[in-house]
């Protein structure tokens, strides 16, 4: 049983994917309506396909370029294996495929939801949430399947499928990092490109349609309306999916890397159980269990009454979510006690090796689940309708757009307070419990519910689209009312989902950061070294500049859309009377091209900076470990600043949005009820204009920025790190001898020889003598030719056994 | 000559203060006009005094509380001396006094400038810049006088006025840190409280006056107009003055601390020259020279033609500024070569002791001067009229307030790119040149021109006020035209001055950060330790929350002002006809009280967080050095994030302001000239409303936040740090012997003994032997009773001389 545990996650992932296929078939069998409904839905579907196609074309070029670069690196740097290229390509393909499944099902489910809403709200929920479930399981299933499969392949390729030593496992995991890098690269395109797409279409459609032509939202006469609806899917479905796919893979990978280090801290061998790699398998096992748990969770989401209100729908989603979290906690307990040694040794900085019981690892997973749950509540508080911060923004709208915007900015800024304290507390607690392995497992546990989270999250834009289709095809008002209930719940889940995505990105980055330090073999990252501090500054600046570039990109792309819509209104006869047909595809093409073009610069910034920091100082002959430390400072800067700006922008944007929406039901300002169309509402609309790129483009992009930065660091790590250095160690074997002389003298000797590829070597001999209460520690190093050094070590005395392992 | 160099800065400071008094008398002798002019000017003067009085009352309470706390600490913690309380009180008093001088002269100079502008523009410049000069010399003179005097007092008190060892000097400098803490505390009140004051009055006056009542700016019928004019002085004169006073003192102090460490690295003694404290005296000497240089610089600022335009005025200011910078460079060269040993030893992390020539220290000072000059250009580019970023914001105003605000935000965000690269480059370069001593001296050199910078900076609000008085007293249009020329130049210098203030705060904080690490005796700040990383996150969050609190404070205070102005318009008969007299003092009282009340919460955040981090873990028995490292992580987080948010907010605010101002002369949008009153202009006004608290309240407050955080760290450092630890080192003396045996064997031995107060000791002996190309490094440590350890070290051979210095 134990020995086949390595295949367990694959089996669970396949089970999840089978369930997904069944659900997919079921959704597709539902009535897709007819006439105008179908026509509009087809337009959206085709628009989405057009975006995917264009994206894939660009992706293919990107993947090709990066593959060539990786291949060159793998040939030049001896310890980087060319298999990383294969892993990279498959990581990209798997993520793209998951996005494809999600987009297709989302754009097929929307019209079916509208159709179902004609007769039944419970059915409409069942269908829209079914679509979300397909998306969620597709992402999680493919992530686990891909990562686990490649791990097994590399485990067999490099180690013959049996435990040898931590060094070999490091090479396995370094190669596996390619899969994660591929996945996160797709996320860059989907999240950043998608974010620009969705807002360019939205702003373009609104500016000309609503403001200039005076036609309502989702009016089929507006040429940009299809692009707008496609945008919801591109941004919220494909973007979010790729984001979480990347987080899922990266988190599990980082936890595996740190699991390998637990084994190292325990002396390089922990016995036969689970092939000797229990701590490495554990995160994969939790991820696998999470898929099945999510399936159970999604089954619980249903309502019975056709007259249900938002509360009941929300309640159904919450039930599924909370049950999933509880089940993950239980399975973490079971897996941790089963798979980990009862007591482990972990190396804590400045405190040395400590005994850590497996129970403490379990507590660390609880910390992760806690963070996932609480961050959603925090987000909900700062952006939820009827909550104090929103009411305050509404009040401030009465004195104009200026005060509305100040209030929104302040809300987003203040919301960093509880969020950051939560993250800081989680880092501290999970580290105190089980070191960085604890931090990574906290992240893994939180991410285990990814499929469920995505189902809840993807259901929102589906319901939104369903409402749009109901409007465009001029359905009975009751249909729109029902989809509006779903849409309104979807808006809340969208905000909380963003909170979950930030938390996952933050914890993932921390885990990657920890894995990075272990990969490079540096002692730590000391920001008292000026170059490291300088890079911390530079890293802190990048998210700010990235956000600005993303916002400017939206502005530019939206302007192109405005020109095109204006042209169509001018050139196509009878368009306003509904007799001329707008050229939807031209608008779709514009946002597609503009979004992919405009994401180049921020993408270049993301990828370019860490590479410049890693390789330019090398040209000037800087020490590799010093560079590794600088790059670590940069990564920390990006992470800290990126998390802050993500929270700030997402919550400010969400708050403005709901402040605007508050006017729809009417709000009381200075004792007077105020509605849509009032001056205060206009001010709130201005605030929402600012908030749109915040919450849908630059804010969510931060997740990708910080994860991709840390991943690039991780992939570069072996090049900078100890065992990849040009004239670097071939092996570093330590043999320990203890000799007790007399009654009151104890001598402990340790010797280690590092042999370099240039034939030279360095020996370190540490002798601790304790006599009459005096502790004497002697550390000697010898440098010279390998033979000389070996002789010198031998000379030191009989108590030292020298074992040198040569390799490569 | 050399031995009396210690008194030189005092003499130069006093010379500067004498020149200031002469200039002050000269300004006061100028014609102050009559009638309405004088009446309005008196109102502003009284309003300023009212604010100062209220501020001093609150300050007295604050200083009392902190003094008591410091006194308790100094009695409980053996290594903290009670004299720190005295230093603290005097630091606060000196800074407050400098602010007082500045405020008084500024509010007296304004009306004299108006009067002079009736006949002569050159005279108006001479008078307004004269007022600025008084302010600048008052701040710089008192800063140098106070710091140097207290240094000499403590140097005599603790060391008898002669060099003993670095340990004693550390106590001198730790006590001197109280002076800096006092100065920076005043800056908190003046900068944050002042920032809230000025914007509350401004927004309050505009909202009711311009918008509701439809009367122009600076109309005497508006009850808030005096508060508005007082606000310019409170924020821009007193706030900026206290900010730079704090930076000046803190920079010099930090450089002195690091100078002491240079002496330590050189073996604890550098010979007789300059009493053996050349590296410690140097920063004070540069500061002293800077005062005289600034006097020369201010003398160069003059114009001849009555028809001069902005360019000529700006040119005159630039001449003075550039000559000052050049003279500082020259004096740095002279002082560095004269006062420093030709070659010094400095300890670089991971690279050990290195020989550093004094020339490299000089180059480091050039780096500082370069930063000061370039940061102004960067600020000017992103916020200057007619520059590309401003033109873009103007264009984006045509599509409404939303796009205007996005463009402004993006401009502020992007402006962090060159600024942070500049800072990062400066940190790197000055550290590479001369370690953290180089970083601190770079800051010192930059700050040497403080008096000149402040003169240029304070002249702006004086000219602004002069224009206001011209308007309110209904002068001939030519008077307003002339003051407008000065005002316009003042707006530019205000923006560049903010850049200088940020740069000074950033470099000062870095220098303090470096001094902190040396005070606590920790090895560095390793962000790979989770608690340190957690604190880096928390530190990064604080500036964001602080900014939000400051912005909200402005909103609240402005609302109170609005209520009061509305009440006066309602209750005072004939106020709109000019027959009823508005109650200016009530409005002044409201902004005074509101600003001081509203600064409590952000102030508490600033002071409370580092104290909580330092003392709460102590209660749980956490290791002091671990706490010190955490606090260091927090300080780094606050500094990195604070600098980013300062640049972002200042430049976004400045950009919005000038985008709005662009409409006054007319701008071309889509080929059409657009002016004040257009829809685009209204959008730009909304942007400026958002920008006002950004650039005048929350942005500049960041400077204080980061400096005060690092200063609190520095004051807490001895409590956490090495030599305050219960059973810690008494002395750490190293003696080095080199022996060359044979032709091809070289032996280098180093020995060091650390004796602890509990009687135990630790010895470290490092022996490097190089024979036949093999380098053998042997490091031995002995722990045990002091006598045992000493005997052991002696046994090692004749080549090791052990010198142990016992103390306390």
Give CA–CA dist A768/A780, Å, rounded.
12
φ/ψ of B756, rounded to 5, equals -100, 155
φ/ψ of B778, rounded to 5, equals -115, 125
Across A52-66, A303-317, A340-354, least confident range: A340-354
Strand order in the sheet with B774-785: A729-741, A745-756, A760-771, A774-785, B774-785, B760-771, B745-756, B729-741
Nearest in space to B244 (alpha carbons), one of B120, B144, B346, B153: B144
Give the pLDDT score at B724: 35
Same domain, residue pair A621 and A735: no
Nearest in space to B746 (alpha carbons), one of B799, B801, B803, B796: B799
Give CA–CA dist A469/A39, Å, rounded.
10
Nearest in space to B642 (alpha carbons), one of B517, B510, B496, B532: B510
Taking CA–CA distances from A555, the nearest residue in chain B reads: B403
Same domain, residue pair A397 and A499: yes
Same domain, residue pair A656 and A758: no
For residue A633, give how far its alpha carbon lies from the nearest alpha carbon of chain B (Å). Answer: 8
Give CA–CA dist B732/B265, Å, rounded.
11
| CB spacing of B414 vs A545 below 8 angstroms | yes
Across A194-198, A222-226, A746-750, B376-380, least confident range: A746-750
Give the pLDDT score at B732: 38
| pLDDT for residue B748 is more than 80 | no
For A519-579, give the DSSP string: HHT-S--BTTSHHHHHHHHHHHHHHHHHHHHHHHHHHHHHHHHHHHHHHHHHHSTTTTTT-
Residues of chain B neighbouring A541 (CB-CB closer than 8 A): 416-417, 420-421, 644
Q: Which of A249-263, A484-498, A610-624, B43-57 has the highest mean pLDDT?
A: A249-263
For residues B454 and B138, the answer to whether their CB atoms sit within 8 Å is no
If you count them, how many residues does chain B have? 808
Kindly state whether residue A807 falls inside one of the protein's structural domains: no
Kindly state whether residue A204 falls inside one of the protein's structural domains: yes
For residues A754 and A761, the answer to whether their CB atoms sit within 8 Å is yes
pLDDT band for A743, please (50, 70, 90 cuts).
low
Give the pLDDT score at A751: 64
Kindly state whether residue A805 falls inside one of the protein's structural domains: no
Q: Which of A724, A752, A772 is the last residue of a domain?
A: A724
| CB spacing of B531 vs A409 below 8 angstroms | no
| CB spacing of B416 vs A633 below 8 angstroms | no
H/E segment holding residue B237: none
| CB spacing of B537 vs A420 below 8 angstroms | yes
Give the pLDDT score at A754: 65
Kindly state whether residue A227 falls inside one of the protein's structural domains: yes
Q: Which of B527, B653, B749 should we substitute to test contact with A (largest number of A Cβ atoms within 10 Å)?
A: B527
Residues of chain B neighbouring A529 (CB-CB closer than 8 A): 349-350, 524
A680 vs A397, A685, B5, B210, B317, CA distance in Å?
A: 5, 9, 66, 19, 46
Burial of B757 (0-12, 13-18, 19+ CB in 10 A): middle
For residues A57 and A161, the answer to whether their CB atoms sit within 8 Å is no
| CB spacing of B410 vs A552 below 8 angstroms | yes
Enter the DSSP assignment of B526: B
- The sign one gets for the Cα dihedral B334, B340, B342, B346 is negative
Which residue in the set B410, B432, B528 is minimally distant from A551, CB to CB?
Answer: B410
Which residue in the set A396, A536, A779 is minimally distant from B779, CB to CB?
Answer: A779
For residues B546 and B701, the answer to whether their CB atoms sit within 8 Å is yes
H/E segment holding residue A802: none
For residues B713 and B512, the answer to whether their CB atoms sit within 8 Å is yes
Taking CA–CA distances from B421, the nearest residue in chain A reads: A538
Same domain, residue pair A772 and A684: no
The residues, any chain, with a CB within 8 Å of residue B230's CB and separated by 6 or more, are B44, B47, B48, B50, B51, B107, B197, B201, B588, B591
Same domain, residue pair A597 and A639: yes
Same domain, residue pair A636 and A756: no
H/E segment holding residue A354: strand A352-357
Counted domains in chain A: 2
Give CA–CA dist B479/A105, Å, rounded.
72
Q: Which of B724, B743, B767 is the last residue of a domain?
A: B724
For residues A579 and A218, the answer to whether their CB atoms sit within 8 Å is no
H/E segment holding residue A777: strand A774-785
| pLDDT for residue A727 is more than 60 | no
Give CA–CA dist A361/A359, Å, rounded.
5
Same domain, residue pair A445 and A547: yes
For residue B783, give how far its alpha carbon lies from the nearest alpha carbon of chain A (Å). Answer: 5
Give CA–CA dist B329/A192, Å, rounded.
47
- The sign one gets for the Cα dihedral A126, A129, A131, A135 is negative
Give the pLDDT score at B43: 85
Give the pLDDT score at B350: 62
Which residue in the set A427, A544, A626 is minimally distant from B644, CB to CB?
Answer: A544
Give CA–CA dist A395/A377, Å, rounded.
23
For residue B143, give how far its alpha carbon lies from the nearest alpha carbon of chain A (Å). Answer: 28
Same domain, residue pair A505 and A474: yes
Kindly state whether residue B807 falls inside one of the protein's structural domains: no
Residues of chain A neighbouring B648 (CB-CB closer than 8 A): 544
Give CA–CA dist A283/A368, Å, rounded.
13
φ/ψ of A42, rounded to 5, equals -65, -40
| pLDDT for residue B508 is more than 90 | no
For residues A424 and B552, the answer to whether their CB atoms sit within 8 Å is no
Kindly state whether residue B51 falls inside one of the protein's structural domains: yes
Residues of chain B neighbouring A428 (CB-CB closer than 8 A): 530-531, 534
| CB spacing of A402 vs B686 below 8 angstroms | yes
Taking CA–CA distances from A531, the nearest residue in chain B reads: B428
pLDDT by residue (tens digit) across A427-467?
Answer: 999 999 998 899 999 999 999 999 999 999 888 889 988 98
Kindly state whether residue A802 falls inside one of the protein's structural domains: no
| CB spacing of A530 vs B424 below 8 angstroms | no
Same domain, residue pair A684 and A757: no
- The sign one gets for the Cα dihedral B479, B482, B485, B486 is negative
Enter the DSSP assignment of B580: S
Three-state secondary structure of B104-148: HHHHHHHHHHHHHHCCCHHHHHHHHHHHHHHHHHHHHHHHHHHHH
B524 vs A13, A302, A521, A616, B571, CA distance in Å?
A: 45, 56, 18, 26, 64
Nearest in space to A628 (alpha carbons), one of A713, A712, A705, A710: A713
Give the pLDDT score at B740: 45
Give the pLDDT score at A803: 46
User: For chain B, what is the radius of gyration of the CA atoms?
Assistant: 28
Give CA–CA dist A54/A48, Å, rounded.
10
CA triplet A363, A365, A368: central angle to 5 degrees? Answer: 115
For residues B119 and B30, the answer to whether their CB atoms sit within 8 Å is no
pLDDT band for A744, please (50, 70, 90 cuts).
low
Same domain, residue pair A783 and A698: no
Angle between helices A477-520 and A358-383 (to 10 degrees): 140
Residues of chain B neighbouring A505 (CB-CB closer than 8 A): none
φ/ψ of B727, rounded to 5, equals -115, 60
pLDDT by residue (tens digit) across A759-793?
Answer: 667 777 767 776 666 667 776 777 777 677 777 76
Residues of chain A neighbouring B784 (CB-CB closer than 8 A): 772-775
Give CA–CA dist A418/A682, Å, rounded.
31
Across A250-254, A411-415, B5-9, least confident range: B5-9
H/E segment holding residue A764: strand A760-771
Taking one residue from A and the other from B, the number of pairs with CB-CB distance under 8 angstroms is: 267
User: Could you tell me the end-to-end alpha-carbon distance of chain A, in angstroms, rounded to an integer?
Assistant: 35
For residue B108, give how far its alpha carbon lies from the nearest alpha carbon of chain A (Å). Answer: 35
pLDDT band for A741, please (50, 70, 90 cuts).
low
For residues B606 and B193, the answer to whether their CB atoms sit within 8 Å is no
Beta bridge partners of A744: none
Q: Which of A683, A701, A724 is the last residue of a domain?
A: A724
For residue A763, give how far its alpha carbon lies from the nearest alpha carbon of chain B (Å). Answer: 9
Q: Give the number of other Cβ atoms within 10 Å of residue B580's Cβ.
A: 15
Same domain, residue pair B394 and B277: yes
Beta bridge partners of B740: B746
Give the pLDDT score at B729: 37
| pLDDT for residue A181 is more than 80 | yes
Taking CA–CA distances from B693, the nearest residue in chain A reads: A406
Which residue in the set A405, A528, A781 is minimally distant from B349, CB to CB?
Answer: A528
Nearest in space to A176 (alpha carbons), one of A722, A608, A728, A711: A711
| pLDDT for residue A512 is more than 70 | yes
Secondary structure tally for chain A: helices H, strands E: 23, 8
Angle between helices A624-665 and A416-447 (to 10 degrees): 110
| CB spacing of B775 vs A788 below 8 angstroms | no
pLDDT band for A740, please (50, 70, 90 cuts).
very low
A622 vs A501, A525, A636, B367, B519, CA distance in Å?
A: 37, 16, 21, 22, 30
Residue A661's domain comprises 2-724
| CB spacing of A436 vs B396 below 8 angstroms | no
Same domain, residue pair A775 and A686: no
pLDDT band for A232, please (50, 70, 90 cuts).
confident
- The sign one gets for the Cα dihedral B565, B566, B568, B573 is positive
For residues B229 and B630, the answer to whether their CB atoms sit within 8 Å is no
pLDDT band for B176, please (50, 70, 90 cuts).
very high
pLDDT by residue (tens digit) across A569-584?
Answer: 888 888 888 788 888 8
Give the pLDDT score at A545: 96
Give the pLDDT score at A40: 84
Average pLDDT over residues A513-531: 84
Kindly state whether residue B628 falls inside one of the protein's structural domains: no
For residues A397 and A403, the answer to whether their CB atoms sit within 8 Å is yes
Residues of chain A neighbouring B427 (CB-CB closer than 8 A): 530, 533-534, 537
| CB spacing of B548 vs A423 below 8 angstroms | no
pLDDT band for A752, please (50, 70, 90 cuts).
low
Nearest in space to A461 (alpha carbons), one of A677, A648, A232: A232
For residue B511, give how far its alpha carbon lies from the nearest alpha carbon of chain A (Å). Answer: 11
pLDDT by residue (tens digit) across A29-80?
Answer: 998 888 888 888 888 888 888 888 888 888 888 899 989 988 988 887 777 7
Taking CA–CA distances from B694, the nearest residue in chain A reads: A406
Q: Give the number of other Cβ atoms within 10 Å of residue A726's Cβ.
A: 12
């Amino acid at each position: 049983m134990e020995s086949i545990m390595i295949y367990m996650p694959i089996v669970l992932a396949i089970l999840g994917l089978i369930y997904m296929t069944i659900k997919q078939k079921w959704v597709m069998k539902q009535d897709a309506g007819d006439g105008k409904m179908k026509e509009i839905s087809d337009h959206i579907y085709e628009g989405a396909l057009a975006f995917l196609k264009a994206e894939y074309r660009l992706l293919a070029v990107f993947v090709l370029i990066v593959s060539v670069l990786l291949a060159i690196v793998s040939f030049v740097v001896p310890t980087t294996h060319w298999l990383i290229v294969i892993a990279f390509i498959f990581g990209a393909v798997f993520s793209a495929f998951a996005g494809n499944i999600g987009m297709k099902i989302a754009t097929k489910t929307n019209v079916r939801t509208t159709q179902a809403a004609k007769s039944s709200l419970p059915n409409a929920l069942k269908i829209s949430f079914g679509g979300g479930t397909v998306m969620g399981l597709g992402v999680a299933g493919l992530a686990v399947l891909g990562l686990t499969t490649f791990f097994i392949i590399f485990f067999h390729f490099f180690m013959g499928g049996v435990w040898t030593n931590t060094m070999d496992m490091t090479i396995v995991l370094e190669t596996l990092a390619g899969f994660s890098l591929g996945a996160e690269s797709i996320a860059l395109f989907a999240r950043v490109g998608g974010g620009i797409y969705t807002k360019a279409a939205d702003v373009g459609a609104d500016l000309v349609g609503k403001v200039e032509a005076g036609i309502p939202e989702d009016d089929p006469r507006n040429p940009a309306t299809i692009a707008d609806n496609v945008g919801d899917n591109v941004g919220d479905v494909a973007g979010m999916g790729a984001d979480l796919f990347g987080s899922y893979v990266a988190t599990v990978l980082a936890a595996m890397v740190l699991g390998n280090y637990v084994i190292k801290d325990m002396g390089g061998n922990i016995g036969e159980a689970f092939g000797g790699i229990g701590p490495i398998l554990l995160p994969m096992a939790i991820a696998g269990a999470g898929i099945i748990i999510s399936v159970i969770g999604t089954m619980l989401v249903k309502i019975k009454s056709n007259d249900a209100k938002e509360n009941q729908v929300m309640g159904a989603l919450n039930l599924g979510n909370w049950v999933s979290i509880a089940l993950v906690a239980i399975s973490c307990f079971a897996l941790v006690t089963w798979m980990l040694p009862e007591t482990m040794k972990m190396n804590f900085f400045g405190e040395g090796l400590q005994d850590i019981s497996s129970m403490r690892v379990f507590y660390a997973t609880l910390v992760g689940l806690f963070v996932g749950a609480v961050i959603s509540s925090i987000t909900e508080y700062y952006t939820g309708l009827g909550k104090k911060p929103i009411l305050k923004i509404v009040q401030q709208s009465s004195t104009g757009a200026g005060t509305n915007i100040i209030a929104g900015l302040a809300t987003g800024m203040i919301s960093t307070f509880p969020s950051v304290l939560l993250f800081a507390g989680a880092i501290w607690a999970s580290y105190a419990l089980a070191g960085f392995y604890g931090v990574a497992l906290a992240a893994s546990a939180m991410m285990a519910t990814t499929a469920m989270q995505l189902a809840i999250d993807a259901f929102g834009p589906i319901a939104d689209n369903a409402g749009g289709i109901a409007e465009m095809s001029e359905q009975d008002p009751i249909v729109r009312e029902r989809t509006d209930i779903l849409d309104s719940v979807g808006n809340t889940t969208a905000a909380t989902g963003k909170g979950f995505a930030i938390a996952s990105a933050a914890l993932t980055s921390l885990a990657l950061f920890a894995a990075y330090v272990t990969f490079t073999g540096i002692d730590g990252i000391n920001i008292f070294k000026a170059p490291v501090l300088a890079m911390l500054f530079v890293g802190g600046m990048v998210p700010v500049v990235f956000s600005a570039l993303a916002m400017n990109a939206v502005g530019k792309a939206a302007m192109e859309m405005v020109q095109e819509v204006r042209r169509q209104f001018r050139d196509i006869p009878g368009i306003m009377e509904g007799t001329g047909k707008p050229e939807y595809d031209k608008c779709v093409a514009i946002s597609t091209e503009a979004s992919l073009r405009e994401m180049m610069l921020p993408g270049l910034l993301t990828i370019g900076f860490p590479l410049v920091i890693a390789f330019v100082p090398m040209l000037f002959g800087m020490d590799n470990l010093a560079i590794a430390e600088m790059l670590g400072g940069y990564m920390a800067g990006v992470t800290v600043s990126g998390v802050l700006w993500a929270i700030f922008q997402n919550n400010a944007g969400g708050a403005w949005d709901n402040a605007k929406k508050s006017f729809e039901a009417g709000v009381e300002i200075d004792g007077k009820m105020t509605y849509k169309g009032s001056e205060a509402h206009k001010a709130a609309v201005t605030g929402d204009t600012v908030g749109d790129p915040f919450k849908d483009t630059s804010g969510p992009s931060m997740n990708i920025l910080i994860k991709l930065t840390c991943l690039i660091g991780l992939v570069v790590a072996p090049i900078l790190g100890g065992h990849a250095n040009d004239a670097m160690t071939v092996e570093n074997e330590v043999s320990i001898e203890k000799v007790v002389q007399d009654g009151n003298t104890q001598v402990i000797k340790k010797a280690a020889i590092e042999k370099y590829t240039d034939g030279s070597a360095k020996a370190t001999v540490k002798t601790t003598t304790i006599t009459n209460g005096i502790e004497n520690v002697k550390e000697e190093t010898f440098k010279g030719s390998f033979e000389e050094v070996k002789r010198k070590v031998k000379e030191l005395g009989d108590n030292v056994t020298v074992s040198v392992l040569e390799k490569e």
